[in-house]
């Protein structure tokens, strides 16, 4: 195995006649934290959607944890999404009818984790994000920062090796954002999880090992 958790080569994607990714090459090493920056419209979300198997692409390859997304069938993609990858979104995407505890527990249920192990792990993760005392609250009873910390615990519940995040601090004030970033870094370090964080926020780049810049559907080489 190479030391890469993610390898993208020659990736091209178009919508109708318009090509929006023009042949991207980049890789993320196991446990590495990478910030992805670029002006609006440069293709960051499109790239993340390809990496998460939501969008198909026209040319090039994506390999995650040794698994070639291009040749995967629906079942294989679904397994990869459930097992190897964790997701964090700007708008949290927690299920509104479930408590914090149940939201974190869900990915464990999806991969068939046993109830006793789930219970232990949810308790441990809520403790790690400082929300043990909020376990029974639904998302609408939590602050933005608390919701994103629940989302963080949920993203690592199933022990992924890679977290993909689109603007994880984009909905938070700077104090709540800083807390989420500290936690992301800590969890990445403690569990060897690689991060690919799309961001406009310079504070996010500070918890990363390096920053990749995108413009007009291309990766810009470092100056
Ligand atoms: N579903 C879609 N259909 C057509 N064009 C799209 C679609 N999604 C994104 N685009 C176009 O692709 C380009 C890249 O968009 P996006 O990946 O959202 O950029 P970013 O996340 O960097 O702001 C933009 O020109 C956008 O208009
Ligand atoms: Mg975007």
pLDDT digits (tens, 9 = 90+) for 14-48: 999 999 999 999 999 999 999 999 999 999 999 99
Just give the CATH number of 4-220. 3.40.50.300
Q: State the ligand closest to the CA atom of 47.
A: 1
Residue 2 has pLDDT above 60, yes or no: no
Tokens 């954002």, residue? 177
pLDDT digit string, tens, across residues 120-167: 999 999 999 999 999 999 999 999 999 999 999 999 999 999 999 999
The secondary structure of residue 114, as a DSSP letter, is: -
**Closest ligand 1 atom, CA of 46?**
17
Q: Which range, of 76-80, 167-171, 190-194, averages the lowest pLDDT?
A: 76-80
pTM recorded for the entire structure: 0.92
Per-residue pLDDT, averaged over 174-183, amounts to 92
Ligand 1 atom 9 nearest Cα: 46
pLDDT band at residue 12 using 50, 70 and 90 as cut-offs: very high
Which of 37, 41, 200, 219 has most ligand 1 atoms within 8 Å of CB, for mutation? 41
215 C-alpha vs ligand 1 centroid, how far in Å? 12
Q: What is the pLDDT of residue 222?
A: 61
- Residue 27: CB atoms within 10 Å: 15
Per-residue pLDDT, averaged over 71-78, amounts to 85
Per-residue pLDDT, averaged over 80-98, amounts to 89
Ligand 1 atom 6 nearest Cα: 15
Q: Which range, of 153-157, 208-212, 218-222, averages the lowest pLDDT?
A: 218-222
Which of 13, 46, 200 has most ligand 1 atoms within 8 Å of CB, for mutation? 46
14 C-alpha vs ligand 1 centroid, how far in Å? 9
Do the beta carbons of residue 134 and residue 101 sit within 8 Å?
A: no
Pocket of ligand 1, beta carbon within 6 A: 15, 20, 38, 40-46
Contacts of 16 (CB under 8 A, 6+ apart): none
Per-residue pLDDT, averaged over 80-100, amounts to 90
113 C-alpha vs ligand 1 centroid, how far in Å? 37
Q: Is 43 helix (H, G, I), strand (E, B) or coil?
A: coil
Ligand 1 atom 1 nearest Cα: 15
Q: What is the pLDDT of residue 217?
A: 96
Mean predicted lDDT score pLDDT of the chain: 93
pLDDT band at residue 1 using 50, 70 and 90 as cut-offs: very low
HEC string of 122-143 equals HHHHHHHCCCHHHCCCCHHHCC
Do the beta carbons of residue 151 and residue 88 sit within 8 Å?
A: yes
């Amino acid at each position: 195995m190479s030391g890469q958790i993610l390898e993208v080569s020659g990736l091209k994607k178009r919508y109708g006649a318009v090509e929006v990714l023009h042949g991207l090459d980049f890789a993320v090493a196991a446990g590495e934290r990478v910030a992805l920056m670029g002006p609006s419209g440069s293709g960051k979300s499109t790239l993340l959607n390809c990496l998460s198997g939501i969008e198909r692409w026209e040319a090039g390859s994506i390999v995650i944890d040794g698994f070639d997304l291009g040749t995967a069938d629906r079942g294989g993609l679904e397994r990869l999404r459930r097992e190897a990858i964790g997701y964090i979104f700007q708008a949290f995407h927690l299920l509104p009818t479930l408590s914090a505890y149940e939201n974190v527990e869900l990915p464990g249920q999806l991969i068939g984790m046993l109830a006793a192990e789930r219970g232990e792990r949810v308790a441990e993760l809520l403790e790690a994000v400082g929300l043990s005392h909020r376990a029974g609250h639904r998302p609408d009873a939590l602050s933005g920062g608390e919701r994103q910390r629940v989302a963080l615990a949920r993203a690592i519940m199933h022990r992924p090796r890679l977290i993909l995040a689109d603007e994880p601090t984009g909905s938070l004030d700077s104090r709540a954002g800083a807390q989420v970033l500290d936690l992301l870094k800590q969890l990445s370090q403690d569990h060897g999880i690689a991060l690919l964080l799309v961001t406009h926020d310079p504070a996010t780049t500070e918890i990363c090992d390096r920053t990749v810049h995108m413009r007009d559907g291309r990766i810009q080489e470092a100056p």
